[in-house]
Each structure stands twice: as structure tokens, then as C-alpha cells.
Amino acid sequence: MPELYRILGLPADQDCQSVAEEYPLFVPRPFVNKMIKGNPNDPLLLQVLPRQEELLTVDGFSRDPLHELSNNTSCRVLKKYAGRALLLVSNDCGIHCRFCFRRFFPKPNGFRKNCFNKYPFGEKEPDKNCSDNFKTLLEPIRSDHTIEEVILSGGDPLLLDDSELERLLHYIVKISHVKRIRIHSRLPIILPNRLTPELIKILSCSFPLYVVLHVNHPNELSDDFWVRRDELRVPVILSQTVLLKGINDNQDVLFQLFDRLINHRIIPYYLHQLDRVHGAAHFEVSPDRGCRLMEQLRQRLPGYAVPRYVQEIPGMLSKQCQLKTLVPLGKIPSR
């Protein structure tokens, strides 16, 4: 943390050091370089900086807000919705967002932790056990013929190196009842150089593959990212955004974000109501304000550039995307 304060020319806040003990500060230098020096309220900084508010116990907020741990026998394969399976292929992310709903997710035993910080992409010795790990990981999907779509998540699935990712996709494609693959990642936004020529080649396959990028603010979008995005031949690229108080709960900010995305052939897919994870209450925006923002965006953007405003509620058969079905803040039961 002292190094981050030094780079940005900000006074160190020693009181926040204890906050980072359970969920450490982790942010790559290219993302830090996009922050405005001397601004303690920079919207990118606020997403990653530990704050004292994270220590507060707030009714309705828990360590497992989506009941992913309690409702699934395998914390690597999550079956939330009909026909789809969420595959957690990496333990880690390239950045620690303070509002991450999986910030308390355990790192399971028996699955090799990736070596993103140890090896450059594409220069790692192949892991001889990798194939066996993937075969075991995919068994719940292989045995369930109702699953037609596999969603790679984590952590961040693009923390696998190119050869590992290609091998994993190969095994998924071989499962006859799987018709689509979706990859959710924040890495191309925070580290555009992750879009290596080899990765671009892997993602530009003939099998129906969709990439969903996590981006929350227009300042996250760099020239380097646009250049690499234009080289990516994935037929459909979508985006998802979390509505965050003090960061993007502003119609001009959201307009700039979705306008830039659609101008580069990235379709805004979801605007998420915050998942109520312990330590993130200070990021929460009321659904009423979220609905007003959506109405304002509809007046300024074409329909295909306006994402679905959604809230995930444990036990529901789909994300709730009709504005009237969004659960009011006071109605969400505490655990």
C-alpha cells in the first residue's frame, strides 16, 4: 500500500493497513498508470483501495451473498441456471476489486494454483498434471447432458497461460452436449498485453465462443486495449459492469462507457446491482437510483447499447432483469 500511495502522490493511510490483511491490496501497474495522480477519489483507485468501511458489519451483507458455497457440492463447478454450468478454472485474479463477491471464496485443495506472477505468458514449462486436472474438473459437466453452455470464470480464467487455456477449451469442445463456451474476464481491461497473438488465435476459433469483459469506468479503456481488441476476431464480445457508488453511479460516466464500448463492437450486456458481500456496503447504489439511471441512458443511447440492469438473487432461476422485480435493499434477508 505505501508504494501505491507513493506512485499516486497521496498521503499514506495507516488505518487501512489492517483492512488489507484478510483481503490484500493487489493491482497491476498498468491499471495504476490510468489513475489520476493526487486524486484520492479517483474512480479506479476507489475500486482497489482498502477502506475502513470494509470492517463494518451491515445487515444483509454476508461472505457468501449468492449462496454459491452452500448450494453446490463442488465449488469448482456451479450449476445455477438451466442448461449452463459455471466453471471456476483459476484461484486468482489479476486485480483485487474490493467489491468482489467471491473475495472470501476458498482456494480448493487438489487443483494447481496458476503461476501468473511467476512466469511470463507462453514461457512456462508445461504442467504434466494439467490435463488430468482438467479431465477431473470437467467430469460433472461431462456427466450432465442438460448442460449446453460452459462459462469459464474464477478468479479469472485468462490467468491460465495460453497452452493451458487451449487445452481446457479442447476438452470442453469434445463434450458432445456442450454447444457454447463463454469466457468472463477482467484481464484484457486491466492488462491489455494479456491479449497475446497466441491468445487471440485461440479465442478466434470456429466453435461458438463468447467473451464477456468486466469494465466499470471509461477511464479503464486504454489505447493499448483498443488496438488489441481490433485484432481479436471473436464474433461476439460483450461487457458487464457493476453499479458502484461514487465510481459510476452517474449517467454521464455510464453513457461514456457504453458509448465507447459499442463504438468498438463490444455490446454492453449487464449492469449489475452490487452483490451484497461483506465489506462492500459502501459501494451499494439503491435500485431506485439504478432504475433512474437506466431510464436516462435509454434516452441517450440506442437500445442495443443499453445493458440489462440485473440483480442476482440466490435460488431464482435467472438473474432478475425486469426493473419491477429488483429486490429493494431493505427486503433482502440477512444471513
Position 18 scores a pLDDT of 80
Strands (E), 21-124: 77-78, 84-88
Position 325 scores a pLDDT of 47
Strands (E), the chain: 77-78, 84-88, 149-153, 180-185, 209-214, 236-242, 267-272, 308-310
Position 276 scores a pLDDT of 97
Q: Domains plus CATH for the chain?
A: 2-331 (3.20.20.70)
Position 121 scores a pLDDT of 34
pLDDT < 70 stretches in the chain:
71-75, 106-132, 317, 321-335
Position 255 scores a pLDDT of 98
| CB 89, CB 312: distance < 8 Å | no
CA trace torsion 318, 287, 252, 42 (10° rounding): -100
Q: Among residues 4, 28, 51, 58, which one has the least CA distance to residue 330?
A: 58
What CA–CA distance (Å, rounded) separates 16 from 14? 5
